[in-house]
Structure 1
């Protein structure tokens, strides 16, 4: 490649990165406008519900759990809970947005660093993911600590009311995560389906070919779904688990004795996790740098192992330094005697359960192992058998994670009641910076490869970005399994905090109200999934029709002599995701409110328990089926790569019937408003994407 060609490739890479950032900014800013209105309304709902419990009383009252103490008025608790909700929502939004900005900057830089070698490109991609991970964890910890200290100026000795109001912080974070994950998921899947079905299957062109009208929307979707959405999702789990642990601790002997170091034990565990993840990251990027393609995957896989080992040691130190040797915890009306080493084991079981779930998920979704290769083999006989094998794999992959979660729940509850479960969830999330770094690395590497393809850069650079993407696609499964497992423990911890605060001694399934709630709750994840899948299907249908229309209507598009209308595809995904994200979110948030208001607290307890049990199964099976279909497709695409196995070569090259069946299976992997609603941002993005086609933007076939 000549110097002039290299400079032309750099300019094209920067322009494409700018277009991707503009599209992501347009979507997120428009999404946040709608979420701002929702947040304000729901904050008022929280205020009305909590305040009405004691008729908006302004008089102090005896504390429910800390006998002999006086708690603040109901009006104050309702006000501070609503404020905490707004703070949690704002922190989640900031975490997702900044994560997206980091990723969009890193995409092009990773592509450019690939000119220097695989080690430089890996370091750029991984450091970018690590920046996002540390940003999320540290920002959540800082804002939560500041909220506690500021609220404490008013609450004083009323720690029960203080930490009860702080639980609104976790609810705000998880609410924004819900909409971010749903909206981003609909966006990215609609673009992915349009790009794959028409581009790969019908037109037989590469995945990131610049002739494909949906290619920019696909790259933007990776940023808003896998980066911003995943960041908000993990922040929601992190905030909820911390708030649940803080509240349960505040109504124990920690709160009665006003032992701040003991109550702040969850915060100390998270702070120790930041230091551990920093050391772990330095091992991969500075001390033992990646130098060859073969070193990429081992470097990524070592990250969760090293962080888990180091965090186990750190948890031991924190447990003995911050906690008294013996203390009592609230145990559904009884008092449970707990020792400091009990909580250490709770943290440790959460840590190692997360690692076990992550590597089990990797086994079922990596093309290095037999399950995904079996799915790839099934593509020989068409898409139908591919779908059947993929669904079966997803169902089978639930077994080990569920047993691992069950063991951690049993150990945590036996040692420290519901607080033990909350601490186990927090232990699993204590290495969230490393987990998110690995997860964000995948989309960054994927988009780096897309930019290299669209910019027409040399085959040598694309081979390096493909190697990064292949490793990230495998290890990303660890992050997804980690997120689902932590969400299960967090949900149970929150359920325990709810029944403790509501005064429910037990949840008896023989009670008809409880059983009805259990059935309806188990149905809700299916209802939610149906709504999101239908929304994605509707958006994907419009995307496929638009991509087909452009290939048929724009002369010279297939020959590379004309530019596709990228902006129109971006707008289809944006409008669909913004329009369709509200009903599923409303279902999740309103169902508990309606159940508790009209049918009582026991029906609500059954509803939450049913949704928890059913949701974990669906989440694990759907996620692993999707990962298996995706990697089966990539395994078949290894046909032309150097070093591909004989088995991969036997399945045929890109464009074969087996490859087309794999692409169709991959499209099944699932989890508006007029132009004027976008304000001034959509015209800016459209101007970027509709710049005149230049002759140097040709696909490099060399």
Structure 2
């Protein structure tokens, strides 16, 4: 049975690649825009690929060093005769490579789809929407197909769940730096372009006179496409890794039912996403929000039905199905909550817009307040999902409660193919809007791309909330995987299978880890935001220099073009300089806590890291999305429209929110996953070598 299901998983992965190829061919076959659209679009494509090449060159060296360390020390020193180290090192490199490939595929199609969507906007909204959505769906299909294929292949070759952790660590570590680096790049350019263009000069968002405008569009691709693709690739792989580690420990030598369930449910999730993507189209209302939401609901319903049928036919446990359904349902609810706090049709955005009439201080105060309010429903949702899955599966026997939580995470991430498609749609249509404005395609095309962009901003807020919530359940499951790994090692050393059953916070070693772990997400966020701050100041100085020294630039004299490359270079160099310290800080902190306090301290560290990380990630993601759509709500003509005092205050709020929602916020969930995986991989070392 297990082999048949794994072959089914490979077949579904291949089907996803076929769907991705068909979508890519369709997007590429759409009519091209005028010469100016094509010229600017190719400029954006070259800039994105150049940055990605530089970033991957640095990350390749990092991956090589880490692979050598894994080869030497994990799971045990190689000189003690451990042959598993070779498998772990190779799995790590494969995971990192697949994660990098996910980003590259996303960039390749997004930088074509933006031009096609811009061109289609001249004829109507339906084909412009399809060009943006199907461009994003190429990445959705490729990312999830690659992650499922990678996990299945590694498991079939090794039948070792720890090797899956190595594969997941490769994906997570690369995603951590890719998301951080892309986030710093994109928000450096976005902030600089907004502050000088909108506030100082009062020129439109994508005015070609602004030297930072091309860097801003490049940033959308390297941050929101490549970065988020690597992030969700990592979350999906990590959820499967946690479920497989726990499931394999529960399976007997005569049955692999739990592992079979994991692969079956993951495969049906991808199949549901393939069908859901195929149903996405504009209805009679020409409402892009409705089109995006309806395809998501189709995918969700299909997954629930297909997994129920599989449970009945293949004799899986209905309790395990219920745990997956709980995760799926809570993921949907958290998406709705994120939508309420960030959608420009809802009251929070309207209240913050009204507050902006009194100045930027009130924009910030109200936005921060709503951001914090948005945290409670999402945190309660994650807590309820974990508790409900735990209680539903606990009667199945010892260890099944944590397996239930891991399957809840798998259920929540089951529709990740559709989520990535929706998420990548956002930056594609944002770029399309910029191309329309820079190429002067007219008010009709601008109105259409504004509508598509507004839907993209809303859906990005929803997908970020979903991604963070999914990471929350995943890392709770990874905490269970950590305990499983520790107990397996302890049993091999004669300490017993129940060496670690929980973490007592009254134990000073656990409490030490708890306090340190709680502080790490805040420090990590501060380092990333300060990186954006420093880099944006350098770019603003460059923009000022160009406006002062290039004659006719500010006046828009025909033939006078800014030095776009200078701004792209500042964003790229600064991002590559700033991305390494924050990631290293999180990794080194984990190792120090483990070597000082051992596995008990690591338990506290992970618990604190999870709780504070989720809180900060949700707060920053939702408050940033709220400020962004407040600005767009005013720009639509409300409360004085563009150029009004309310608009200037909202631009300040959006500027503060940019590194919140696109740099620090979504990077935190990757940071949590990375330290959880390091802890599991180092569990043997921490158990046998620590100060206390």
TM-score by length of 1: 0.85
> Matched residues in 2 for 1:303 and 1:489: separation?
24
Partner of 2:329: 352
Given that residues 513 and 597 in structure 2 are in contact (C-alpha distance below 8 angstroms), is that contact kept between their aligned partners in structure 1?
Answer: no
Q: 1:142-201 deviations in whole A, cap 9, x for unaligned?
A: 12212222224xxxxxxxxx1222211111111111101100110011100110000001
Partner of 1:368: 345
- Structure 2 SS opposite 1:52: coil
Partner of 1:528: 524
Find the partner of 2:125 among 106, 118, 123: 118
Moved more, 546-555 or 443-452: 546-555
Partner of 2:606: 608
> Matched residues in 2 for 1:590 and 1:323: separation?
45
Given that residues 445 and 468 in structure 1 are in contact (C-alpha distance below 8 angstroms), is that contact kept between their aligned partners in structure 2?
Answer: yes
> Matched residues in 1 for 2:283 and 2:582: separation?
43
Partner of 1:543: 539
> Matched residues in 2 for 1:320 and 1:291: separation?
38
Find the partner of 2:253 among 249, 253, 256: 256
- Structure 2 SS opposite 1:123: helix
Partner of 1:643: none
> Matched residues in 2 for 1:438 and 1:471: separation?
10
Partner of 1:335: none
User: CA 1:318–1:659 in structure 2 vs 1: closer, same or farther (change >3 Å)?
Assistant: same
Partner of 2:101: 94
Structure 1 position 82 matched with structure 2 position 106: no
Find the partner of 1:568 among 566, 569, 572: 566
> Matched residues in 1 for 2:84 and 2:310: separation?
31
Partner of 2:354: 377
Structure 1 position 35 matched with structure 2 position 19: no
Find the partner of 1:273 among 269, 272, 280: 269
Partner of 2:377: 400
Given that residues 84 and 147 in structure 1 are in contact (C-alpha distance below 8 angstroms), is that contact kept between their aligned partners in structure 2?
Answer: yes
Give how far 1:351 is off: 0.3
Give how far 1:39 is off: 0.6
> Matched residues in 1 for 2:536 and 2:88: separation?
40
Find the partner of 1:388 among 362, 365, 374: 365
> Matched residues in 1 for 2:641 and 2:129: separation?
28
Find the partner of 2:212 among 205, 211, 214: 214
Structure 1 position 198 matched with structure 2 position 221: no
> Matched residues in 2 for 1:34 and 1:17: separation?
26
Given that residues 319 and 341 in structure 1 are in contact (C-alpha distance below 8 angstroms), is that contact kept between their aligned partners in structure 2?
Answer: yes
Find the partner of 1:466 among 450, 454, 460: 450
Moved more, 651-660 or 612-621: 651-660
Give how far 1:255 is off: 4.4
Partner of 2:486: 502
Q: 1:440-462 deviations in whole A, cap 9, x for unaligned?
A: 11111110010011111122111
User: CA 1:224–1:556 in structure 2 vs 1: closer, same or farther (change >3 Å)?
Assistant: same
Partner of 2:463: 479
Q: 1:419-438 deviations in whole A, cap 9, x for unaligned?
A: 11111111111101111111
Given that residues 557 and 564 in structure 1 are in contact (C-alpha distance below 8 angstroms), is that contact kept between their aligned partners in structure 2?
Answer: yes
Give how far 1:258 is off: 4.2
Given that residues 528 and 587 in structure 1 are in contact (C-alpha distance below 8 angstroms), is that contact kept between their aligned partners in structure 2?
Answer: yes
- Structure 2 SS opposite 1:668: helix
> Matched residues in 1 for 2:228 and 2:609: separation?
21
Superposition misfits of 4+ residues, deviation over 6 angstroms: none
| CA-atom RMSD in angstroms | 1.5
Given that residues 262 and 323 in structure 1 are in contact (C-alpha distance below 8 angstroms), is that contact kept between their aligned partners in structure 2?
Answer: no
Higher Rg: 1
Q: 1:593-631 deviations in whole A, cap 9, x for unaligned?
A: 221123211111111110001000000001101001100
Partner of 2:492: none
> Matched residues in 1 for 2:216 and 2:97: separation?
27
Give how far 1:122 is off: 0.8
- Structure 2 SS opposite 1:547: helix
Partner of 1:310: 302
Partner of 1:433: 417
Partner of 2:633: 635
> Matched residues in 2 for 1:511 and 1:395: separation?
31
Given that residues 122 and 441 in structure 2 are in contact (C-alpha distance below 8 angstroms), is that contact kept between their aligned partners in structure 1?
Answer: no
Name structure 1 gaps, 5 residues minimum.
Answer: 1-6, 59-74, 153-161, 325-339, 640-647, 672-702
Given that residues 33 and 118 in structure 2 are in contact (C-alpha distance below 8 angstroms), is that contact kept between their aligned partners in structure 1?
Answer: no
Given that residues 421 and 492 in structure 1 are in contact (C-alpha distance below 8 angstroms), is that contact kept between their aligned partners in structure 2?
Answer: yes
Given that residues 245 and 484 in structure 2 are in contact (C-alpha distance below 8 angstroms), is that contact kept between their aligned partners in structure 1?
Answer: no
Partner of 1:698: none
> Matched residues in 1 for 2:630 and 2:73: separation?
49
User: CA 1:45–1:322 in structure 2 vs 1: closer, same or farther (change >3 Å)?
Assistant: farther
> Matched residues in 2 for 1:423 and 1:360: separation?
23
Structure 1 position 45 matched with structure 2 position 69: yes
- Structure 1 SS opposite 2:648: helix
- Structure 1 SS opposite 2:36: helix
Structure 1 position 104 matched with structure 2 position 111: yes
User: CA 1:112–1:8 in structure 2 vs 1: closer, same or farther (change >3 Å)?
Assistant: closer
Q: 1:382-415 deviations in whole A, cap 9, x for unaligned?
A: 1111101110011000011111111110011121
> Matched residues in 1 for 2:390 and 2:589: separation?
28
> Matched residues in 2 for 1:40 and 1:573: separation?
26
Given that residues 255 and 263 in structure 1 are in contact (C-alpha distance below 8 angstroms), is that contact kept between their aligned partners in structure 2?
Answer: no
Partner of 2:641: 653
Aligned residue-pair number: 608
Given that residues 249 and 484 in structure 2 are in contact (C-alpha distance below 8 angstroms), is that contact kept between their aligned partners in structure 1?
Answer: no
Find the partner of 2:311 among 285, 298, 319: 319
Find the partner of 1:57 among 80, 83, 88: 80
Partner of 2:680: none
User: CA 1:40–1:264 in structure 2 vs 1: closer, same or farther (change >3 Å)?
Assistant: farther
User: CA 1:114–1:15 in structure 2 vs 1: closer, same or farther (change >3 Å)?
Assistant: same
Q: 1:36-70 deviations in whole A, cap 9, x for unaligned?
A: 111111122223332536x6433xxxxxxxxxxxx
Question: Residues 690-701 of structure 1: matches in 2 within 5 Å?
Answer: none
Given that residues 191 and 217 in structure 1 are in contact (C-alpha distance below 8 angstroms), is that contact kept between their aligned partners in structure 2?
Answer: yes
Partner of 1:664: 652
- Structure 2 SS opposite 1:660: helix
Given that residues 117 and 129 in structure 2 are in contact (C-alpha distance below 8 angstroms), is that contact kept between their aligned partners in structure 1?
Answer: yes
> Matched residues in 2 for 1:458 and 1:321: separation?
57
> Matched residues in 2 for 1:448 and 1:35: separation?
30
TM-score by length of 2: 0.86
